[in-house]
Amino acid sequence: MPASKPRYTPRYIAMISLVTALCVVGRYLFQFLPNIQPVTDIIIFMTLSFGFVTGGYIAILSILISNILLGFGIWTVPQIFAYLVVVGLTWLVGHWSFLRQHLWLQAIFSLLMGYLYGFFVSLGQYPLLGGWPQFVAYYIAGLYFDTFHAFGNLVLYFLLIPPLAKILPRLRLD
């Protein structure tokens, strides 16, 4: 029985590191725009390209490292959880070949994930809000910023993913 290749090769770790760095720098550079950042798009693309585990690593590391620069708070754990939900849903729908073949469909999915991410980050604040009426008010008040996130995802997907899709295959992880 032949031995299987180890998953965590130096190339794989370097790729995770480089893409995480791209997410952190992107989040930092776009901080002056409310909720517009390339992180969600990159996480979706990496999950579609390399699977759940890779998308999860990049999501967790991107939030932890960028929050070192931008500030930790009660929002950090819900941010990680929300991105893991995005990774999981991306992995599930990523099995549809139609989604993988059409950039415009991926971009629309990314727009929807901006709203889903915002919902789960808001849901993470529920224990601090005091009940469902307060949560609903909090969530509705945040929809304005979720809309920036969602439409930022849509626009950035078309700008960022085509060049990234050309670069990543050159890294060859085998």
Which has the closest alpha carbon to 58: 79, 78, 36, 43? 43
Identity of the residue numbered 59: A
pLDDT one-digit tens code per residue, 27-43: 999 988 888 999 999 99
C-alpha–C-alpha distance, residues 33 and 166, integer Å: 27
39-50 and 76-93 helices cross at what angle (nearest 10)?
40
Q: What integer is the mean pLDDT of 52-62?
A: 96
Between 126 and 56, the more confident residue is 56
Name all domains of the chain by residue range, CATH numbers in brackets: 10-171 (1.10.1760.20)
Mean pLDDT taken over the chain: 91
Tell me the pTM. Answer: 0.91
Amino acid at 100: R
Rounded Cα distance between 93 and 99, Å, is: 8
